[in-house]
Copies of this chain bind each other. A is one copy, B any other.
Amino acid sequence: MATGRTHRPATRSRGIPEATVARLPLYLRALTALSERSVPTVSSEELAAAAGVNSAKLRKDFSYLGSYGTRGVGYDVEYLVYQISRELGLTQDWPVVIVGIGNLGAALANYGGFASRGFRVAALIDADPAMAGKPVAGIPVQHSDDLERIIQDNGVSIGVIATPAGAAQAVCDRLVAAGVTSILNFAPTVLSVPDGVDVRKVDLSIELQILAFHEQRKAGEEAAAGGAQATAARSESADQGPDGDVPAVMPA
Interface residues of A (CB under 8 A from B): 1-2, 5-10, 13-14, 18-19, 21-26, 28-30, 49-52, 54, 87-90, 92, 94, 96, 102-104, 106-108, 110-114, 116-119, 157-158, 181-185, 188, 190-191, 193, 195-218, 220-221, 231, 233-252
Contacts and interface: CB of A to CB of B under 8 A. Distances in A.
A52 B206 CA distance: 15
A245 B210 contact: no
A23 to B, nearest CB: 8
**Most B Cβ at <10 Å: residue of A111, A118, A212, A238:** A238
A243 B240 contact: no
A207 B108 contact: no
Nearest to A248: B238
A238 to B, nearest CB: 4
**Most B Cβ at <10 Å: residue of A88, A183, A184, A241:** A241
A219 B158 CA distance: 13
Contact of A195 (B90, B94, B204, B234): B234
9 contacts: A6-B52, A7-B54, A13-B217, A104-B107, A116-B205, A196-B218, A196-B236, A214-B247, A242-B248
Contacts of A199: 238-241
Given A14-B217, A25-B210, A111-B251, 8 more contacts: A9-B237, A14-B220, A21-B213, A25-B209, A52-B190, A89-B215, A104-B107, A240-B245
B2 A215 contact: no
B88 A209 contact: yes
Contacts of A51: 190
**Most B Cβ at <10 Å: residue of A10, A92, A242, A248:** A242
Contact of A26 (B8, B202, B206): B206
